[in-house]
Amino acid sequence: MAQFLYIMFPRSLIHNTRDFFMKFFNTLLLAAIITVPLSGCVIAINNDDWESEHGDWESQQKRNVRNIKQLELGRSQSAVEAEFGEPDLVESFSRDGADYKVLFYRTQRVKQDGLTTRDETTPLVFHDGMLVGWGESAIDKATH
């Protein structure tokens, strides 16, 4: 094969081509060595895992507080969920043959741990699919 190349192409062309490809390869290799480690550099400031799942958590909290202030008793659970979106926590229970469902929506931030805990939410209480109250007092009234 080498003899064929020497017959078809002058020796200087082969060496120049080889030198060109070696320089090109070395430049490409150097660029890869520099670029690859730097491509993974990301700086996260005030990162909150909840944000990655739910978008901007602060604006969502404000929206939830505003929506709760405008709630009216007797609204259907489906209408509330359509307005608020997916709840952060859900609990269900029965009392005296009546079914209750409690949807918890995040309304405050207590601890920056990336988790939404019950103390960071406001509960909305539904009886047979209708809103009967919100806040911890609504749960107390439904369970006592």
Q: What is the largest CA-CA distance in the chain?
A: 100
Same structural domain, 70 and 13: no
Same structural domain, 128 and 84: yes
Measure the CA–CA gap between 144 and 136, rounded to whole angstroms: 12
Residue 118's domain comprises 49-143
Measure the CA–CA gap between 133 and 138, rounded to whole angstroms: 5
pLDDT value, residue 64: 92
Whether 61 maps to a domain, the answer reads yes
| Digit-coded pLDDT (tens) for 95-144 | 888 899 999 999 988 887 778 888 899 999 999 999 999 998 888 887 77
| Digit-coded pLDDT (tens) for 59-100 | 888 999 999 999 999 999 999 999 999 999 999 988 888 899
Whether 44 maps to a domain, the answer reads no
Higher pLDDT, 47 or 18: 18
Q: Are strands 130-134 and 121-127 parallel, antiparallel or unpaired?
A: antiparallel
Number of domains in the chain: 2
- Per the prediction, the chain carries an average pLDDT of 78
Same structural domain, 125 and 57: yes
CATH code, 114: 3.30.1450.10
Same structural domain, 32 and 100: no
